[in-house]
Structure 1
Amino acid sequence: MITALRAELKKIRGRFLWVLPLGVVGMEFLWMMSNSYLAKPEASAEGYFNLLFQLPLLNTIFLPLILAVMASRICDAENKGNTYKLLCTMQEKKKIFDAKLLLGGIYILFLTLLEGANVLLLGRLLHFTQPLPIKHLLPFLAVLFVVSLALYLMQQVLSMLITSQLMPLFIGLLGSLVGVFSAFFPVGSVANFLPWGYYMVGLTLSSWYDESARTMYLYESPFRWGWFSVFLIAAAALYIVGKHLFMKKEV
């Protein structure tokens, strides 16, 4: 597997895929810094709660398409040159599939670490007085990694099975739109049935809007283990089925 991973790293040399996670986190940083409410003194007492409540929505907007682009670029060398037949004479198909998934996982881990650093940096620059809520930050980062890896897996399967990369990229764009649409419904309804909505399903914070005072209040909520268990089972099934389909694909 190490040899296969090294081969994948050589294929993407010069493609600057690290720019994708860096760009997403950079956009989210600028978005939050431009949020005038977060800079107000009255917001600093719940500053981290506001961040951890808003960032999953931004991830829902940006990441489905970014992950589709990442998967497409990682699978691009074989698709462009139609070199799967040549490659499979020297390497097992299952190792090719797993190496590309592992490479995507490394970039997603990089994204997750950047996102954690982004939260800490924003808290310092915006002078939050709220203590860092570790019990909410860790689930946020874990959900970010797991959901992103599952979405990347889905996009990788599509990119490896479909020669033209327009369709996988279109599905990634559609995922961003559908994910944002699901966020307008109560958590626990539409988003539960859409893989792109699980950034929101993984929230450990909920909101309540007081119409008379025109104020939104954030409060802690339990993690939705039931739905996330279903999501993990579906992701495992996708891995098994997707890998099987790739191994059966004519090259």
Structure 2
Amino acid sequence: MNTRAVANEFAKMRHLRVGVIAVAMVVAVLGLSLFTIVSSPDFDPDSPAAWNGLLAGMSLAIPLVFPLLLAVLASRQTDIEHQGNGWLLQATSGLTPGGVCRAKLITLGIVVAAITAGTSLLVLVAGKLLAGILAPIPFAHWVGFTGCMLVINLVVLALHILLSAKIDNQLVALGIGVLGSVLAVFSQGLPAAAAHLTPWGYYALARAADYAASGYVAIPLSYPSIAALALVVAVFFLITTGRFDRQEA
């Protein structure tokens, strides 16, 4: 990867309010996660189910918040190329459109990874300090959930970068982001087979906990399905950006 291209993408972020979007994502997920346990009449800080309540809250909050804001991040980072004829400008310096897209995925991917991991850690700390949960933390399940959500976030980000690069009108990309949030949330009520049909449905497969008759319970994570999604989209992204390389800017 062209390190100069990656550095240029980071430089562009300073004018795109990426920090504001990142803070909005973290605050929204934290607030919704804490609201899940605060509003539950069965909340008991001494019970292991208390952590399941936070995981259930994040399992709903991340699909509700992230798909749209990932679309916003990808759109803002890509629209500047359409507005300023950046594709042609960078092509004259030897950087192909596909190379630009790959650089955008790396830079935004680093930001999204930091947001996802930071949000998960902040919810964990808030559970201890604000909610006063005393039960042992289910670290393995928590880390697994965070990893699965990170993979899905990066997949959705990659697809939105391709979409924003291909279509000049960014309202289309943002509209699909809204639709993605709706699909991500409603997929949690669908059978697992139906959740596999769209990238946003995989948020339901990464759900770590849910409410049952006995309270909040942990749910096994669908590691094989999420790994398969990552592989398929990675190949698709490389093939598509490779085709961009052979097109005129």
Question: TM-score, normalised to structure 1's length?
Answer: 0.88
Q: Is the 8 A contact 2:54 2:123 kept in 1?
A: yes
CA deviation after TM superposition for structure 1 residue 148, in Å: 0.6
In structure 2, distance between residues paired with 1:3 and 1:60: 33
Aligned residue number for residue 232 of structure 1: 230
Change over 3 Å in CA distance of 1:39–1:97 after alignment to 2: same
CA deviation after TM superposition for structure 1 residue 121, in Å: 2.2
> Identity of counterpart residues, as a percentage?
26
In structure 2, distance between residues paired with 1:23 and 1:177: 19
CA deviation after TM superposition for structure 1 residue 115, in Å: 1.3
Aligned residue number for residue 180 of structure 1: 185
Q: Deviations over 1:15-64 (max 9, x none)?
A: 22022122111012222333434586525512111111221221111111
User: Structure 1 stretches of 5 or more lacking a match?
Assistant: none
Q: Is the 8 A contact 1:205 1:218 kept in 2?
A: yes
1:1-251 alignment, distance < 5 Å: 1-35=2-36, 36-37=38-39, 42=44, 44-45=46-47, 46-93=49-96, 94-124=98-128, 125-186=130-191, 188-205=192-209, 207=211, 209-210=212-213, 215-221=214-220, 223-251=221-249
- Give the AA of the match of 1:78: E
Change over 3 Å in CA distance of 1:39–1:3 after alignment to 2: farther
CA deviation after TM superposition for structure 1 residue 200, in Å: 2.1
In structure 1, distance between residues paired with 2:90 and 2:204: 40
Question: TM-score, normalised to structure 2's length?
Answer: 0.89
- Give the AA of the match of 2:217: L
Q: Is the 8 A contact 1:38 1:44 kept in 2?
A: no
CA deviation after TM superposition for structure 1 residue 224, in Å: 2.1
Say which SS state the counterpart of residue 170 (structure 1) adopts: helix
Q: Deviations over 1:162-204 (max 9, x none)?
A: 1111111111111111111211224x23212221122221234
- Give the AA of the match of 1:5: V
In structure 2, distance between residues paired with 1:244 and 1:88: 14
Q: Is the 8 A contact 2:67 2:180 kept in 1?
A: yes
Relative to structure 2, which stretch is displaced further, 238-247 or 161-170?
238-247
- Give the AA of the match of 2:12: K
Say which SS state the counterpart of residue 217 (structure 2) adopts: strand
Q: Is the 8 A contact 1:38 1:126 kept in 2?
A: no
CA deviation after TM superposition for structure 1 residue 11, in Å: 2.0
In structure 2, distance between residues paired with 1:249 and 1:162: 15
In structure 1, distance between residues paired with 2:151 and 2:160: 14
- Give the AA of the match of 1:116: S
In structure 2, distance between residues paired with 1:217 and 1:33: 14
Change over 3 Å in CA distance of 1:217–1:230 after alignment to 2: same
Q: Is the 8 A contact 2:34 2:54 kept in 1?
A: no
In structure 1, distance between residues paired with 2:30 and 2:167: 35
Change over 3 Å in CA distance of 1:39–1:120 after alignment to 2: farther
In structure 1, distance between residues paired with 2:32 and 2:223: 30
In structure 2, distance between residues paired with 1:224 and 1:195: 14
RMSD of aligned Cα (Å): 2.1
- Give the AA of the match of 2:131: L
In structure 2, distance between residues paired with 1:140 and 1:25: 16
